[in-house]
Structure 1
Amino acid sequence: MRAFSRCRAILSVGLLSLGILAGCQSSAPDVLDSAAQENKAAASASSTTMGSGSAHIDLFIDRGIAGSASDYRDGAMLAAKELGAGALTLTVHDLPAGSADLSGQVSKAVAGGTKFFIGSPFLAKAVASGASGSAFVLLASEPESGGVAIVSDEIDALVEVAAYAAGAGRTKIMAVTARPLSDAEAQRLRGGLKKAGVTLLDIVIDPSSPAGKKSLAKLGEAQAVLLIGADAPRVIAPILRQGGALAADIPFLGTATWPVNGYAEPALEGSMLALVDQSALQRISKRFQAAYGRSLSLEAAYAFDAVAVAAGIVRAKGDQGLSKDALYAASGFAGATGTFRFDAQGRVERRFAIYGLKQGKPALLDPAPTGF
């Protein structure tokens, strides 16, 4: 952790589970139809390879992440090209929609020498059953089936910005949300804030309800207010400022969930935001723009970082070092989204930068740390 100086707590992220498609086979024609469909699906699958090194990495793009297929593919390919140093071979598999033979695809990759997998939660069980013990990075925010998750979610960033505020002496914090929180999210938020030294006054889910209004009676004690949800800056912030209920010098705390086009809302002046390290993103963004003629998306950045994990392990330990255990290196990894590592549960711990809103624009308050 780092205090107001250099010590902030960080946490991690969310996934889905693999769905196995099954059908009834009551007659010979049905069996033939099923076989024909499987052959057609296999024929429509495609793969692209970058590099020729001895360390094999496979990225599977299936229906779980198909909506951002080009971003995931290009981000991973750029990382393999720039970080591979002749040691990596990255194969990107575009699986047909509804493909059910994920375990078969994984087993085939293992037979070809792959020890490191990247993909969606739909692939998690396939890797667990067909490549047990292999390193597996999920392009999602919740670890499962032995894989680590590389995506940071809103809760992670909320804990980070609250920890920064607490380090500055603003330890009494209220959370007000414009969306329902799951029990797991609320538990993670409470636990993370406690670890960061924050006294959580309350989590107000519906400020207009009788219970919400009762909780807001504590607003005068708050030294900062967490605003949760994309609508919170526009809907909740002005209401809390109304009539001086929340003094102008009490900052709102937010994340990348806040819409950029709402930063100019007067009630948000002086807010603090935890954002992915923008300087790290910019360095990769320029190279991504030059290679693919478009801006770097966060999806492409996460795929870049998943390959960067493999590249970091190979640099340190050689291709024989690509193992599940190697993912948990305490020193972490560096990539397009800054410095990060994985905890014992497989959740990502990412170093965020802290920005302050001044006249509707973010200004850097504290750069993201470069290590743990």
Structure 2
Amino acid sequence: MFAVFRIVRKPLAAIAALVIVAACDGAPLGSSGPMINTRNAVPVALLVPGGSGQPGDDLIAASLENAARLAIADLGDVQIDLRVYNTAASPAQAAAVATEAVRDGAKIILGPVYAQSANAVGKAVAGRGVNVLAFSNNAAIAGGNVFVLGPTFENTANRLVRYAAAQGRNRVLTVHDNTVAGQMGRDAIAQAILAAGSTSTGIASYEFSQNGVIEAVPTIADLVRTTGTDTIFFTADTAGALPLLSQLLVENGIDPAITRFVGLTRWDIPPSTLALPGVQGGWFALPDPALQSQFGSRYQMAYGAAPLPISGLAYDGIAAIGALVKQGKADALTTTALTQGAGFAGVNGVFRLLANGTNERGLAVAEIRNNQVVVIDPAPRSFGGPGF
């Protein structure tokens, strides 16, 4: 038994063509947000975590700005005046530069990255009627003038539970670690099970340590056998408990070919995870691989390096702003305009912003087969109604 437990310039024509907006969907515009003159360049503030003193934050800042500028280049006649501000990954500085950005004329804010900073920014500019498209995936900070662009647990759980149910797998055991993220994931899975009409066969947890996983596995295996569970939904990620947890369950007699392993997080990052025996046959969700590949090639050509995964959110944010501005309406950046039902599409696929500040993203479902990622249900390219 081994243990792995770490705490831790060619325009993009195809992508540009996917920047969509419903110009005539009948939704009235005019809720909270500034009026703009679409004949002039629209000032957009990009808040990035540069200046924190952490090399990782500087890399994120550069990658986000690069992706935003690629998106602007793909907008055609739409003019965006991008103004970049460093937050130093500090909520106080984020709030200060957001206030400065609005004073400088910004009509919408793209970023920041970290949840606390995004929350501080939202509060700082709420009285000025400016909306915030944050790069966070934390649904707890969403609402009011703050929208999160990152993939949420709720969205991923809904996609996977519904897909599993369509395959006749509707008896779901939730397994989560006793952390804040694990508990948030547990709740998202529970809501998805209820929404899909599936059955929860139980909830099992473990302390976030190697010994915690080892001690919990026999109980989890017994639950699977005694409840008729056909799907185990894990909140664990590849940098934490997933490698050890999946391996030990197999060693305790749980056959993934009979009881499907499903993950709330990306199981293909890092790629070495794909070689783990315990995840073979497992399902997880990911953005449209074809669109991400196009973006990666474009970015590599422009900047000589691969984009960070988060950088696609900056492209998506600019794509949404540009699609709305292109309609030529003064109220293009109000909350009602941002939440129009047809949504938008960028390098992560189709997405739409919801009235509660979260988002819905069209995700593909993938299976790990022979150490490779195989898409078994493609990501949708449009929204057919109020939900998937």
Aligned residue for 1:228? 235
Cα offset for 1:103? 5.3
Which residue, out of 334, 341, 349, partners 2:360? 349
Quickly say closer, same or farther: Cα 1:280–1:236, change in 2 above 3 A.
same
Matched, 1:54 2:54: no
Cα offset for 1:321? 1.3
**Gap runs ≥5 in structure 1:** 1-51
| Conserved 8 A contact 2:118-2:136 | no
Quickly say closer, same or farther: Cα 1:318–1:84, change in 2 above 3 A.
farther
Aligned residue for 1:137? 133
Q: Secondary structure of 1:203's match?
A: strand
Distance 1:348 1:55 in 2: 24
| Conserved 8 A contact 2:174-2:186 | no
Matched, 1:311 2:298: no
The one-letter amino acid of 2:232's match is V
| Conserved 8 A contact 1:177-1:232 | no
Which residue, out of 255, 260, 263, partners 1:251? 260
Determine what percentage of the aligned residue pairs are the same residue: 22
Whose radius of gyration is greater, 1 or 2? 1
The more displaced of 231-240 and 358-367 is 231-240
Quickly say closer, same or farther: Cα 1:112–1:238, change in 2 above 3 A.
closer
Distance 2:256 2:103 in 1: 63
TM-score (norm 2): 0.73
Quickly say closer, same or farther: Cα 1:196–1:271, change in 2 above 3 A.
same
| Conserved 8 A contact 1:125-1:145 | no
Q: Secondary structure of 1:316's match?
A: coil
Distance 1:341 1:267 in 2: 34
Question: What are the Cα deviations for residues 125-179 of structure 1, in whole angstroms up to 9, with x where unaligned?
Answer: 4454445322210111122552100011455424422221111110011122355
The one-letter amino acid of 1:250's match is T
Cα offset for 1:105? 4.0
Question: What are the Cα deviations for residues 247-271 of structure 1, in whole angstroms up to 9, with x where unaligned?
Answer: 6333211254434312122332222
Which residue, out of 203, 218, 228, partners 2:223? 218
**Gap runs ≥5 in structure 2:** 1-38, 207-212, 384-388
The one-letter amino acid of 2:201's match is L
Aligned residue for 2:162? 163
Distance 1:190 1:94 in 2: 38
Aligned residue for 2:7? none
Which residue, out of 65, 68, 71, partners 2:63? 71
TM-score (norm 1): 0.76
The more displaced of 224-233 and 94-103 is 94-103
Which residue, out of 70, 75, 79, partners 1:87? 79
Aligned residues: 320
Pairwise mapping of residues 65-214 of structure 1 onto structure 2 (< 5 A)? 66-67=57-58, 68-83=60-75, 85-95=77-87, 100=92, 105-120=97-112, 121=115, 122-130=117-125, 132-142=128-138, 143=142, 146-154=145-153, 156-178=155-177, 180=179, 181=181, 183-206=183-206, 208-209=214-215, 213-214=218-219
Question: What are the Cα deviations for residues 192-221 of structure 1, in whole angstroms up to 9, with x where unaligned?
Answer: 2211232121221126547x7445423021
| Conserved 8 A contact 2:366-2:377 | yes
Aligned residue for 1:277? 288
Question: What are the Cα deviations for residues 324-369 of structure 1, in whole angstroms up to 9, with x where unaligned?
Answer: 3322111111011111112221112111101111101011111100
